[in-house]
Amino acid sequence: MFVHLLMTLTIFKMSVEVSYMVSNIRLIVGITGASGTVLGVRLLEELKKAKVETHVIVSPGAYEVAKYEMKDVRDVQGLVKSKSAQYYDEKDISSKIASGSYETDGMIIVPCSMKTLSSIACGYGNNLISRAADVCIRYKRKLVVVPRETPLNAIHLENMAKLSRMGVWIVPPNLSYYHNPETLEDMTDFMVGKMLDCFGIGHNLYKKWGQ
Ligand SMILES: Cc1cc2nc3c(=O)[nH]c(=O)nc-3n(C[C@H](O)[C@H](O)[C@H](O)COP(=O)(O)O)c2cc1C
């Protein structure tokens, strides 16, 4: 009786551990040259913690911006690679994530520049980021775009509205104060939490309203 109970508990514990270790979620993450490289990097950290399989593409523009915003990080590419299941060059247009036959649970572009936003809205597919986004739209997979620019002009707004009508989630990294952030990190975590919410990935980055 005691042995049976012990075995049941062990199997239960193992299944809990396994479900924690493998999330079965496969996401494409694009990081482009809008301000907020840290949002992309912080998201990758959380996705790694959540055992999400990430396929990551970083545009040359993003590395340019990172020079200004992540001065204390010597090797941004190394940092990104260490947090990705797989890393791709933006020009790697024949890679598996350029094809819809490679199944994923969707894609997030964070931060998303107005250039990349426009390329997706026009179906231009000029690099692996906009091509992979195009595939998500074609296959009705979840596409989350975190556009960053201010002020926005009518071209930007129209591109966002066009994508939104196609089912793309437009999640701008807007400031918020009701969760009483004390540091920039708190603000970043709040935004990253919102991005994880889009994919139903659990986190402790901010306290949800009513909890
Ligand atoms: C320091 C810095 C900050 C920038 N911030 C933004 C921004 O917030 N939003 C934006 O759309 N473009 C911004 N840009 C311009 C883009 O990096 C540029 O349009 C680039 O071509 C985008 O290419 P990509 O989308 O392929 O990364 C910034 C450029 C620099 C150097």
**Residue 2, in any domain of the structure:** no
| Nearest CA residue ID for atom 14, ligand 1 | 34
Nearest residue to 194 via CA among 211, 170, 210: 170
Q: What residue ranges of the chain have pLDDT lower than 70?
A: 1-22
> What pLDDT is attached to residue 20?
38
How far apart are the C-alpha atoms of 193 and 30, rounded to whole Å? 17
Cross-strand bridge partners of residue 56 = 29, 87
**Domain containing residue 124:** 24-198
Looking at residue 9, its pLDDT comes to 52
Write down how long the chain is: 211
Domain count, the chain: 1
Model pLDDT, residue 211: 81
Write down the pLDDT at residue 23: 78
Q: What percent of the chain has pLDDT over 90?
A: 86
Beta strand 143-147 pairing with 26-31: unpaired
CATH of the domain at 127: 3.40.50.1950
Alpha helices by DSSP H, listed for 144-183, are 154-165
Cβ(164)–Cβ(127) under 8 Å?
A: no
Q: Is 211 a domain residue?
A: no
pTM of the model: 0.90
pLDDT score of 4: 58
Q: Nearest-5° angle of CA 63, CA 65, CA 71?
A: 90
Q: Which pLDDT tens digit goes with each residue over 42-80?
A: 999 999 999 999 999 999 999 999 999 999 999 999 999
Pocket test for ligand 1, best of 113, 146, 156 (most atoms within 8 A of CB): 113
Token pair 């990097």: residue: 41
For the Cβ of 61 lying below 6 angstroms from any atom of ligand 1, the answer is: yes
